Amino acid sequence: MSFESFVALRYLAASRKTAHVALISTISIVGLTLGVAALVISLSLLSGFQDRIRAQMAERSPHLSVSPERGAALSDPEKVRRVLQDLPGVLVVEPVVEGRGWLAAASGGAAVPVRYRSAAEGELPPVPDSEEPPIRIAAPIGFRIGVGSGDSVRLTSSRVRLSPIGPLPVSLQLRVADLGRRGSLQRTPEVEVPEPVARTLSGQLSGAHAYEARLRDPASADRAASEAARQLGRDYRVETWRERNASLSFALRLEKLVIFATVALVILVAALNILSNVALLVVEKKRDLGVFTTLGASPRSLAGIYLVLGTAIGAIGTAAGLTLGVGTSWLLDRFRLVPLPPDVYVFSHVPFAVHPREVFLVAVFAFGTALAAATLPARAAARIAPGEAVGLSR
């Protein structure tokens, strides 16, 4: 062990007679520990929620979506379907047929303009005791036209068909299967209808406006999208579920960054505490510095003592904080210690997820800040006037 480390570590573990020195160091360590733990727990809490949100995004969104780069319909829908079907890890490929129309209660009342699209197979269960095809309406739309689950509605397409009496709009009566209350986890269609209904209303009897695919592993969407884009060429736009939810993803990242910056202020406060405590030690140990100078210690060596001290405080505080933070997060998540009201939240308890990369970033930030805080008083130690220092006891 070097001379500097020997002295610094002895200062850190002072004897009973000089306990105030150890107390100063302990306060610095505890401050850093709490700051690091707070940051780790905050990030774990945020990650827990965000991981669940992303999982729901991946579950409810199509993992891959292929639409025309220009125009409303795919120029070669069969090619698109085949390319998607042949991608590794694809579970299902479904066409998307969509259009615009007006929706009103079958009993009468004002109609509201809507966008409708075909639902994935099996998404819309039939309504019991009804021969009318099912329809899912976004809740705000349902409230506007005054319908709920089980009610009949009339969906009128913007397309017209020719009749003996002239052009007539294409219109169908459907039964509300679900007044869907969707959050912002996906781009929510206002109205979803079975594929045959969508084709009738839009007139798209074959082909599709787009194709959507679901993957066995949503995390492989980027790779699959690159391969699909390579095979399909520039006439098609290939999007992943992340890209379709880019604004939400950005909001989640921004939220985490803001939380990191805010809670990291606690670590900065702890670092300032380290700075002041190490500076206090430099003043307290001024005579020691003078003695070391008379014994032949260089100014760099004197600074080294306090840098080692700051390093030790930083290392101990960071390690203790990481242990406390990770351990607390694990316990809270493992034993579901923070329940959530089920009528308000989708989750039954507050989820905590510890990400190793985030823990590493917190460790680097905390340790680096502590070390930087000790640099200023260490430099002051190097500039001590030894003659004055050893003369202090006279």
Footprint of another protein (CB under 8 A): 1, 3, 6, 10-11, 14-15, 17-18, 21, 287-288, 290-301, 385-387, 390-391, 393-394
**Least spacing, CB of residue 386 vs another protein, in Å:** 4
**Least spacing, CB of residue 319 vs another protein, in Å:** 24
Is 370 within 8 Å of 294 (Cβ atoms)?
no
- The position carrying tokens 């000790």 is 374
**In angstroms, what CA-CA distances link 341 with 57, 217, 345, 348, 364?**
22, 31, 6, 7, 37
The Cα–Cα gap between 285 and 274 comes to 16
Nearest alpha carbon to residue 224 among 75, 63, 60? 63
**Least spacing, CB of residue 378 vs another protein, in Å:** 16
291 or 372, CB closer to another protein? 291
122-139 as b/e: b if 16+ CB within 10 A: eebeebeeeebbbbbbbe
**Least spacing, CB of residue 314 vs another protein, in Å:** 21
Is 226 within 8 Å of 64 (Cβ atoms)?
no
**Least spacing, CB of residue 298 vs another protein, in Å:** 4
65 or 293, CB closer to another protein? 293
Report the SS3 class of residue 367.
helix
172 or 390, CB closer to another protein? 390
62 or 290, CB closer to another protein? 290
**In angstroms, what CA-CA distances link 117 with 58, 114, 153, 202, 212?**
20, 10, 16, 9, 12
Helix (H) / strand (E) element for 171: namely strand 166-180
**Least spacing, CB of residue 277 vs another protein, in Å:** 17
226 or 294, CB closer to another protein? 294
21 or 374, CB closer to another protein? 21
